[in-house]
Structure 1
Amino acid sequence: MMVVFLKQDRDRDRERDKDRDRDHDRDRDHDRPRSQYKTAPSPVVHVRALCDSVIEADLVKGVDRFGLISYVMMLPNKRQALVEFQDLRSAQKCVAYSKRRIVNIAGHPAFFNFSTSQRITRPGGPEDPKHVNNVLFLSIQNPLYPITTDVLYTVCNACGPVLLPSAQKAKASLNGADIYSGCCTLKIEYAKPTRLNVFKNDSESWDYTNPDLTARDERRRQGQPALLGDHPSTYGGFQANPLALTHRMDARSSNNRPMHLYSSPDFEYVPQGRVIMIYGLNPHKMNCEKIFNLLCLYGNIEKIKFMKSMPDAAMVEMGDEFSVERAITHLNSVEMFGKKLNLCVSKQASIVPSQSYELVDGTDSYKEFTNSRNNRFTNPGQAAKNRIQPPSNVLHFFNAPPCVTEEIFQEVCEDCELKAFRTFKTFTGKSDRSLSGLLEWETKSDAVEALTVLNHYQMKNTSGPYPYTLKLCFSTMSHA
Structure 2
Amino acid sequence: EALLEMASEEAAASVMNYYASGRPYLHHQPIYIKYSNHKELETDNLPNQASDQAELQALNIMSSGRQAVRRVRVPETGLPPGQACVLRIIIDNLTYPITLEALYQIFSKFGDVLRIITFCRNNYFQALIQYSDPMHAYYAKMCLHGRSVYSGCCTLYVDFSKLVSLKIRYNNSKSRDFTRNDLPSGDDMEPLMAAASGTQNVIIPAYAGAAGFLPPMGFSQGVAAPGACGSVAVMSSPYGEMHIPDVTDAPGSPVLLVRNLNPEAITPQRLFNLFGMYGDVHRVKIMFRKKGTALVQMADATQARLAVSYLNRQRVYGRVLRAAISKYQVVQLPREGQEDSNLTKDYTNSTLHRFKKLGTRNIKNIFPPSAVLQLSNIPPSVTVDHLKNLLTNMKLTVKAFRFFPNDSTMILTQLGSVEEGVHALIELHNYDLGENHHLRVSFSKPII
Question: What TM-score do the two structures reach when normalised by structure 1?
Answer: 0.43
Greater RCO structure (CA 8 Å; 6+ sep): 2
Larger radius of gyration: 1
* TM-score when normalising by structure 2: 0.46
